[in-house]
């Protein structure tokens, strides 16, 4: 698909990678509908994209709220005059060991259900609801071709202190295969990107010691940038023969 022909929803568009994707698509002349819980960030993204030939529309979106997702898809379809692409990018971190023993007191601490539910709610359930409703709209309107880009993670292979995040991101990678098989009959492809350590507000909020250790372990000797991930997203959007696979973009990092 040509980028200029896209009418694309991007979740998590208020900052980080989602904002970068919106900028790049706007520069290419695409129509974009961005959603996020951060309304101030959405407004900033729209302002940054005003110089591009494309058009960026923004509306508050909590992907973990089923009714809100459905309403957002309907709004996006109307605002853009159609819908043929989704970049399911919204995500959060609530890291913690599943079970931890305090070295001084011996007290046992467990990952809270609230931490588990928050990450699964946004990173897996929310991502699934968005893909479901967006694809349903494409099928309803007879739109083809269409394309979905899921955002998985290097953590899908397993990472200490990220049981919730790993569960969500590994499921998205697996469902990229599942959905490619289900949506193929409708002319809709599905691909995924699995970023490694990328410079975004989310990773900037990590424990500094853990962040430094991860960056030191990257063979290309630097943290990734949103542009690195955009190159992978752009490939999936443009290559009509790519389907049902996850692309690792991690600088060679292994966890």
* Main-chain phi, psi angles of 194, to 5 degrees: -115, 95
Burial degree of 255 (CB within 10 A; 0-12, 13-18, 19+): middle
Q: Is 29 exposed, middle or buried (0-12, 13-18, 19+ CB in 10 A)?
A: middle
Element (H, E) at 47: helix 39-48
Task: Give me 127's structure tokens.
Answer: 């991502």
Q: Is 165 known to be catalytic?
A: yes
Q: What CA–CA distance (Å, rounded) separates 169 from 150?
A: 9
- Choose, from 21, 72, 165, 179, the residue flagged as catalytic: 165
Strands, DSSP E only, in the chain?
7-11, 31-36, 55-60, 85-88, 99-101, 108-110, 146-151, 188-195, 246-249
Active site positions, annotated: 165
């Amino acid at each position: 698909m040509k980028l200029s022909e896209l009418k694309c929803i991007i979740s998590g568009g208020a900052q980080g990678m989602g904002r970068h994707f919106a900028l790049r698509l706007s520069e290419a002349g695409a129509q974009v509908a961005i959603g996020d819980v951060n309304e101030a960030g959405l407004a900033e993204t729209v302002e940054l994209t005003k110089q591009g030939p494309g058009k960026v529309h923004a509306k508050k979106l909590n992907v973990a709220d089923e009714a809100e997702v459905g309403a957002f898809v309907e709004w996006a379809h109307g605002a853009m005059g159609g819908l043929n692409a989704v970049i399911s990018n919204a995500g959060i971190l609530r890291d913690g060991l599943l079970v931890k023993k305090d070295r001084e007191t011996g007290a046992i601490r467990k990952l809270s259900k609230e931490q588990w539910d928050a990450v699964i709610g946004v990173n897996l359930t929310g991502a699934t609801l968005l893909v479901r409703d967006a694809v349903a709209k494409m099928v309803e309107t007879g739109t083809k071709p269409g394309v979905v880009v899921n955002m998985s993670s290097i953590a899908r292979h397993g990472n200490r202190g990220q049981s919730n995040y790993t569960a969500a991101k590994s499921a998205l990678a697996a469902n990229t295969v599942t959905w490619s098989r289900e949506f193929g009959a409708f002319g809709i492809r599905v691909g995924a990107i699995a970023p490694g350590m990328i410079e975004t507000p989310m990773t900037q909020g990590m424990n500094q010691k853990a962040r430094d250790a991860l960056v030191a372990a990257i063979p290309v000797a630097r943290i990734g940038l949103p542009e690195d991930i955009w190159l992978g997203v752009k490939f999936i959007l443009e290559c009509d023969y790519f389907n049902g696979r996850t692309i690792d973009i991690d600088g060679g990092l292994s966890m």
